[in-house]
């Protein structure tokens, strides 16, 4: 078979993930150094060599992080074909909105658990303890917006991408109809604790993602 | 199913992204069809055939000819 090289080799998924992950890590790292150095400078009031070195390191990390993120711009740019463009816009909007709502909900959650039970903040996420009304409404809004965006996104996918997601969804459905009744029966038989809906939902989502990923990169 | 998509694309000096744009699918979709991981639906097969001004049988081969 004839081996034909790509005329323009696009950046692979792993390459984009590494550049974006590395870029954001360096940017946050640089911002952290800068914040620490400036705080120490304000506290001690002396402009010493350490401050210069620290700010230089922070600048290097910020520039390096910015360059890494900028280098992935070609892959992240919006394509011109209408359907793929709509799909990409929906994906970026979903990521942006869910990040903003997620950070807001995370702060609200931490503020609530730090007052209620500081030692078990993460465990409280999966427990059945009562939540405050503002936090409940925030997380509910986040969930509804995310699902609505996800539904719209699915309508913009091409047939190959849709087949990948549907394979993952089928794997998730089989996981659900296996685990949920089995756990319920095991609970009735005294073998396991009471079924946890959130844990089952998370498990289904993980199986869905694994199924989708296997189908995409097999 | 075997296909000549990669050869036809190369003859026109198109990248996968350019072909994807002309077909209004993602680049990953073109890659999946070229590598035989996915057989296109009939509507997409017709779009591909029209783009290259060939019949579907001239592009795709199910091994029964």
Contact predicate B61/B3, CB 8 Å: yes
pLDDT in tens, A201-213: 989 999 999 999 9
Q: At what angle do helices B16-23 and B27-34 cross, to 10 degrees?
A: 110
For testing contact with chain A, the best of B18, B38, B43 (most A CBs within 10 A): B38
pLDDT-flagged residues of chain A (< 50):
1-7, 120-123
Residue of chain A with shortest Cα separation from B2: A1
What pLDDT is attached to residue B54? 94
Q: Which one has a higher pLDDT value, B18 or A104? A: B18
Q: If 0-12 CB within 10 Å is exposed, 13-18 middle and 19+ buried, where does residue A58 land?
A: buried
Contacts of A53 (CB under 8 A, 6+ apart): none
User: Does pLDDT of B20 surpass 50?
Assistant: yes
What pLDDT is attached to residue A62? 79
Residues of B in contact with A162 (CB under 8 A): none
What pLDDT is attached to residue A6? 46
Write the DSSP string, A44-55: H----HHHHHHH
What pLDDT is attached to residue A1? 42
Contact predicate B6/B41, CB 8 Å: no
Q: Is A89 on the interface with B (CB under 8 A)?
A: no
- How do the domains of chain B map onto residue ranges? 2-59
CA distances from A8 to A71, A83, A88 (A): 15, 22, 20
**Helices (H), strands (E): how many in chain B?**
5, 2
Residues of A in contact with B14 (CB under 8 A): 7
Q: If 0-12 CB within 10 Å is exposed, 13-18 middle and 19+ buried, where does residue A176 land?
A: middle
What pLDDT is attached to residue A124? 54
Residue of chain A with shortest Cα separation from B39: A160
Residues of B in contact with A216 (CB under 8 A): 28
Distance between CA atoms of residues A91 and A102, nearest Å: 16
Contact predicate B35/B41, CB 8 Å: no
What pLDDT is attached to residue B8? 95
What pLDDT is attached to residue A210? 95
What pLDDT is attached to residue A28? 75
Query: Which CATH topology does B2-59 take?
Result: 434 Repressor (Amino-terminal Domain) (1.10.260)
Residues of B in contact with A158 (CB under 8 A): 24-26, 29
For residue A94, what are its two tokens?
Answer: 């979903």
Contacts of A38 (CB under 8 A, 6+ apart): none
Helix (H) or strand (E) holding B10: helix B5-11
pLDDT in tens, A153-174: 888 888 888 999 999 999 999 9
């Amino acid at each position: 078979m004839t081996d034909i090289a790509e005329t323009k080799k696009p950046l692979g998924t792993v390459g984009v993930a590494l550049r974006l992950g590395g870029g954001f890590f360096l940017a946050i790292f640089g911002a952290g150094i800068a914040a620490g150095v400036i705080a120490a400078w304000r506290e001690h009031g002396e402009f010493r060599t350490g401050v210069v070195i620290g700010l230089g390191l922070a600048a290097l990390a910020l520039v390096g992080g910015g360059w890494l993120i900028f280098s992935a711009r070609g892959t992240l740019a919006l394509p011109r074909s209408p359907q793929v463009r709509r799909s990409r816009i929906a994906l970026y909007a979903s990521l942006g909105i869910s990040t903003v709502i997620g950070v807001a909900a995370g702060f609200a959650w931490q503020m609530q658990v730090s007052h209620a039970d500081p030692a078990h903040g993460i465990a409280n996420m999966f427990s059945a303890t009562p939540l405050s009304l503002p936090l409940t409404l925030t997380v509910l809004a986040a969930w509804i917006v995310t699902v609505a965006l996800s539904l719209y996104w699915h309508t913009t996918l091409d047939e190959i991408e849709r087949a990948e997601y549907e394979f993952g969804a089928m794997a998730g459905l089989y996981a659900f109809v296996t685990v949920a009744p089995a756990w319920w029966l095991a609970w009735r038989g005294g073998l396991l604790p009471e079924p946890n809906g959130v844990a089952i939902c998370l498990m289904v989502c993980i199986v869905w993602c694994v199924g989708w990923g296997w189908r995409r990169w097999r | 199913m075997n296909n000549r998509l990669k050869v036809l694309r190369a003859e026109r000096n198109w990248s996968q992204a350019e072909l994807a744009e002309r077909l209004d699918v993602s680049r990953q979709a073109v890659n999946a069809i070229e590598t035989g991981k996915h057989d296109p639906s009939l509507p997409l097969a017709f779009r591909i055939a029209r783009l290259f001004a060939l019949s579907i049988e001239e592009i795709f081969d199910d091994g029964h000819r």
